[in-house]
């Protein structure tokens, strides 16, 4: 039976339908948020997975029909997820995952199909709401409702789920998710917002989240089914006791080794000893293989427990640092001679090499997605090769992690990028992570910022990033500055904060517990601010301001504004004029030649020319100026005869500008045949006298000769 639930949420209709669509799924809801429509379905496998992790898959399937588009390319159907779609799936997954028991092992899949999109009514947060509700009404063991909102601030006023136009004006673009009791996920881009204002925005968003969670509870009470009992992964207490007695002391010593590779090698050695000793003691056991899986899990748990105990009780970090201490910092610029800009940033055993490339505006990225934005001129791409952590691994297209980390770093630096009018280039930054022991995305922000400055991009201010961590044990908690890999893996929070000296430009927070309090958020933001200042001091000692000159290998630019009605003259029929300009000025045979001058012309008549050789730019610019140059009536010009006819001759004043000297205007005396006076190639002095009814220019040699005679 179809059920419909209608609510009002901050001035928009929120409608949930159940019972008509996808009835074989274990949980299915159609969520209408004004004109945005998402179908969310949840299904759980009946079998317990043998994996030692919870196999949860969250999908966010963008359908271009939802915004009235036909996919680009030859295939004309949706292919691999867009970066925006991948990021949306991550945004949903992160707050949902902690709501399952850590020992849950049945595979769960949630599919969000985007059916209709109103870009003023966030499809991502609608899908998060649908994901949580589809799980909530099903028999799948899911703890409690989760919801999310976008918070903006326009003219000092906070707004929930602002429109696209409001977000353009907003200095905060904050995505926050949580339960009715606590915040569980944060993602934000900000225009240098203070820690106090950001905390206020988070709390404002959480109040709206409470309303959405209450709506879900209302619907679940009406149509939800009882949760089933599932088999949870559990450990044999006898094996736990035996392994703990065997390796706890050795594990504690291994954890406190400072060097990452040496530490991890010793930890692995201790874990292998646990397996070896248990095998020797229980070689006759018929279930030895299954027992050894437990031994490995117990060894991992001992490692995590000792890390947490050391930090919360003894205030000792695995590498011996103070709770607020940053690992050693260093960096350099201009490592790569032929790139447009490059920088290396190292923090402890995390190292990122960032390279900046400048291109013409026409080289912007084309976006074939559901958003209003069709292109972007600043990109940051993040690469995380396996060798950076001393491992072998898969190499291929970027995964969710690479896309997510790149998007965070891009968001942090975008806030200080110059406008297209100030710096008319497409800018691409690539971060190559060369070594990693935690927080490589924040190292990418620091390296990326310095590489932009090295390339001469006039960024407004320097940006640095730091990752904060949280370790809880019972009612105690400890906030860590600059977490390393082990603290991230074993900890309860990964809170990344990027910004300038004057404010936050990007945030990202993930937690593994049910939520965190306002006090923890406040303390984390304050510690992050102090760390950011320290990192910026080091960065400024390496490069203090953007270069005034671009690399000799970077394309140089010159700009000119022409009248919109002149664009057709510069481009020509079928592009013949602009093609001739490119070929002749660059001395190449094809406009696609790498040495050809690039010319971008906007609809408003803004012309930008790019080339490494400024002389080629000047030559192309002179040709354009000749085309757009306008004749002044009454002014005298020297021109070249290009064609002689019985009725007169055509004179070229400059390339692209010709006029007719009628036979009656060739001389002060009567002329029978124009060829008696001029021939092709002659240079003659003429006066511009006006235009005929067809807009053709009229010239006179006679008037020039008459004025000379009078003198």
pLDDT tens-digit map of 485-498: 888 887 888 899 99
Question: Distance between terminal CA atoms of the chain?
Answer: 103
Pick from 286, 313, 340: which residue ends a domain? 313
pLDDT at 474 over 70: yes
Pick from 492, 508, 542: which residue ends a domain? 542
Q: Which residues touch 446 (CB under 8 Å, ≥6 apart)? A: 331, 345, 347, 352, 463, 464, 465, 535, 539
Apex CA 193: angle with CA 191 and CA 199, to 5°? 135
pLDDT at 83 over 70: yes
The CB-side HSE value for 449 (13 A sphere, CA atoms) comes to 32
Q: Which residues pair with 29 in a beta bridge?
A: 40
Residue 664, domain member (yes or no): yes
pLDDT at 126 over 60: yes
pLDDT of residue 344: 98
Q: What is the DSSP string of 418-464?
A: PPTTTS--EEEEEEEEEE-SS-HHHHHHHHHHHHHHHTT---SS--E
Residue 105, domain member (yes or no): yes
User: What is the spatial distance between Cα 4 and Cα 499, in angstroms, rounded to a whole number?
Assistant: 45
Residue 679, domain member (yes or no): yes
pLDDT of residue 17: 97
Pairing of strands 426-435, 378-383: parallel
Residue 320, domain member (yes or no): no
pLDDT of residue 307: 83
User: What is the spatial distance between Cα 188 and Cα 153, in angstroms, rounded to a whole number?
Assistant: 12
308 and 441, same domain (yes or no) = no
How do residues 282-318 score in pLDDT, each as one tens digit? 888 888 888 888 888 888 888 888 888 888 888 888 8
For 312-374, the three-class secondary structure string (H helix, E strand, C coil) is HHCCCCCCCCCCCCCCCEEEEECCCCCCCEEEEEEECCEEEEEEEEEECHHHCEECCCCCCCC
Helices 260-281 & 237-255 angle (0-180, nearest 10): 150
How do residues 399-458 score in pLDDT, each as one tens digit? 888 999 999 999 999 999 999 889 989 999 999 999 999 889 999 999 999 999 999 999
Domain of 593?
Answer: 556-628
pLDDT at 704 over 90: yes
710: pLDDT confidence band, cut at 50, 70 and 90? low
Report the percent of the chain where pLDDT is more than 90. 61
536 and 597, same domain (yes or no) = no
pLDDT of residue 542: 97
CATH of the domain at 202: 3.30.230.70
User: What is the spatial distance between Cα 151 and Cα 156, in angstroms, rounded to a whole number?
Assistant: 12
Contact, 508 vs 496, CB < 8 A? yes
CATH of the domain at 703: 2.40.50.140
60 and 16, same domain (yes or no) = yes
567 and 437, same domain (yes or no) = no
CATH of the domain at 304: 1.10.10.400
Pick from 628, 660, 691: which residue ends a domain? 628
Question: Between the CA of residue 21 and those of 221, 369, 386, 397, 674, what are the distances in Å?
Answer: 20, 25, 43, 35, 85
pLDDT of residue 211: 97
338 and 434, same domain (yes or no) = yes
pLDDT of residue 372: 59
CA torsion, ordered 450, 454, 456, 457, to nearest 10 deg: -20
71 and 171, same domain (yes or no) = yes
412 and 295, same domain (yes or no) = no
Q: Which residues pair with 600 in a beta bridge?
A: 608
Coil, strand, or helix at residue 64? Answer: helix
Least confident of 28-32, 112-116, 318-322: 318-322
647 and 580, same domain (yes or no) = no
User: What is the spatial distance between Cα 484 and Cα 466, in angstroms, rounded to a whole number?
Assistant: 11
CATH of the domain at 587: 3.30.1370.10
pLDDT of residue 103: 87
pLDDT of residue 354: 97
How do residues 177-225 score in pLDDT, each as one tens digit? 999 998 999 999 999 999 999 999 999 999 999 999 999 999 999 999 9
Let me know if 374 is exposed, middle or buried by CB neighbors in 10 A (0-12, 13-18, 19+).
Answer: exposed
pLDDT of residue 120: 93
Average pLDDT value for residue range 642-662: 91
Going by C-alpha positions, the residue among 443, 493, 186, 442 that lies closest to residue 311 is 493
Residue 483, domain member (yes or no): no
Per-residue tokens: 301: 């748990």
Residue 452, domain member (yes or no): yes
Residue 318, domain member (yes or no): no
Residue 503, domain member (yes or no): no
Let me know if 639 is exposed, middle or buried by CB neighbors in 10 A (0-12, 13-18, 19+).
Answer: buried
Q: Domain count of the chain?
A: 5
Least confident of 78-92, 576-590, 667-681: 78-92
Contact, 211 vs 189, CB < 8 A? no
278 and 417, same domain (yes or no) = no
335 and 410, same domain (yes or no) = yes
711: pLDDT confidence band, cut at 50, 70 and 90? low
pLDDT at 626 over 80: yes
pLDDT at 144 over 80: yes
Sheet containing 36-48, strands listed edge to edge, beginning at the edge strand earlier in sequence: 3-9, 12-18, 27-33, 36-48, 106-116, 56-61
Pairing of strands 648-654, 598-601: unpaired
373 and 275, same domain (yes or no) = no
661: pLDDT confidence band, cut at 50, 70 and 90? very high
Per-residue tokens: 194: 């203070």
207 and 301, same domain (yes or no) = no
365: pLDDT confidence band, cut at 50, 70 and 90? low
Going by C-alpha positions, the residue among 372, 501, 376, 349 that lies closest to residue 433 is 349
Q: Which residues touch 565 (CB under 8 Å, ≥6 apart)? A: none
Let me know if 638 is exposed, middle or buried by CB neighbors in 10 A (0-12, 13-18, 19+).
Answer: exposed
């Amino acid at each position: 039976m179809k059920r419909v639930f209608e609510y009002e949420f901050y001035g928009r209709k929120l409608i949930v339908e159940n019972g008509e669509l996808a009835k074989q799924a274990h949980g299915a809801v159609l969520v209408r948020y004004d004109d945005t429509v998402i179908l969310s379905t949840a299904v759980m496998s009946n079998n317990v997975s043998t994996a030692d992790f919870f196999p949860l898959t969250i999908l966010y399937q963008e359908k271009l029909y939802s915004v009235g588009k036909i996919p680009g390319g030859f295939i004309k159907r949706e292919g691999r997820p867009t970066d925006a779609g991948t990021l949306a799936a991550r945004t949903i997954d992160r707050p949902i995952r902690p709501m399952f028991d850590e020992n849950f092992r049945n595979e769960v899949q949630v599919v969000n199909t985007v059916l209709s999109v109103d870009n003023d009514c966030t499809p991502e947060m609608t899908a998060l709401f649908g994901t949580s509700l589809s799980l909530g009404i099903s028999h799948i063991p899911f703890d409690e409702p989760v919801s999310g909102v976008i918070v903006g601030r326009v003219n000092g006023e906070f707004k929930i789920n602002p429109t696209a136009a409001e977000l353009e004006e907003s200095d905060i673009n904050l995505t926050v998710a949580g339960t009715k009791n606590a915040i569980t996920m944060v993602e934000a881009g900000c225009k240098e917002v203070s820690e106090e204002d950001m905390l206020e925005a988070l709390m404002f968003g959480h109040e709206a989240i409470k309303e959405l969670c209450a709506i879900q509870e209302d619907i679940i009470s009406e149509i939800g089914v009882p949760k089933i009992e599932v088999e949870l992964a559990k450990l044999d207490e006898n094996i736990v006791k035996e392994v703990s007695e065997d390796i706890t002391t050795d594990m504690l010593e291994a954890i406190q080794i400072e060097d990452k590779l040496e530490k991890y090698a010793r930890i692995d050695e201790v874990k292998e000893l646990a397996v070896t000793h248990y095998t020797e003691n229980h070689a006759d056991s018929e279930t030895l293989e299954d027992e050894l899986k437990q031994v490995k899990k117990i060894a991992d748990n001992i490692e995590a427990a000792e890390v947490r105990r050391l930090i919360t009780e003894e205030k000792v970090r695995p590498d011996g640092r103070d709770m607020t201490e940053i690992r050693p910092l260093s960096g350099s610029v201009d490592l790569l001679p032929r790139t447009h800009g490059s920088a290396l940033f190292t923090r402890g055993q995390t190292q990122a090499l960032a390279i900046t490339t400048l291109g013409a505006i026409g080289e912007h990225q084309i976006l074939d997605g559901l958003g209003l934005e069709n292109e972007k001129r600043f990109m940051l791409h993040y690469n995380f090769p396996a060798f950076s952590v001393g491992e072998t691994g898969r190499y291929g297209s970027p995964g969710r992690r690479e896309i997510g980390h790149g998007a965070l770093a891009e968001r942090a630096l975008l806030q200080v990028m110059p406008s297209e009018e100030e710096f008319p280039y497409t800018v691409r930054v690539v971060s190559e992570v060369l070594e990693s022991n935690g927080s490589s995305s924040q190292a990418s922000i620091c390296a990326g910022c310095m590489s932009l400055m090295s390339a001469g991009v006039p960024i407004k201010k320097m940006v640095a990033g730091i990752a904060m961590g949280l370790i809880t044990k019972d009612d105690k908690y400890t906030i860590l500055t600059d977490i390393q890999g082990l603290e991230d893996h074993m900890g309860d929070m990964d809170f990344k904060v990027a910004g300038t000296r004057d404010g936050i430009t990007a945030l990202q927070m993930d937690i593994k517990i049910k939520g965190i309090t306002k006090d923890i958020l406040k303390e984390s933001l304050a510690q992050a601010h102090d760390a950011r200042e320290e990192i910026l001091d080091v960065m400024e000692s390496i490069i203090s301001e953007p270069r005034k000159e671009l690399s000799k290998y970077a394309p140089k630019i010159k700009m000119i504004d022409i009248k919109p009605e002149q664009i057709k003259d510069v481009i020509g029929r079928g592009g013949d004029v602009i093609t001739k300009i490119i070929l002749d000025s660059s001395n190449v045979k094809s406009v696609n030649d790498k040495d050809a001058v690039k010319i971008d012309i906007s609809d408003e008549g803004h012309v930008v020319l790019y080339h490494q050789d400024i002389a080629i730019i000047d030559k192309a610019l002179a040709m354009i100026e000749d085309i757009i140059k306008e004749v002044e009536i009454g002014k005298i010009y020297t021109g070249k005869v290009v064609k002689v006819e019985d009725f007169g001759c055509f004179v070229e004043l400059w390339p692209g500008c010709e006029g007719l000297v009628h036979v009656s205007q060739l001389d002060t005396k009567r002329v029978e045949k124009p060829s008696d006076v001029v021939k092709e190639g002659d240079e003659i002095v003429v006066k511009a006298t006006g235009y005929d009814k067809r807009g053709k220019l009229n010239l006179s040699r006679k008037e020039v000769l008459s004025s000379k005679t009078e003198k």
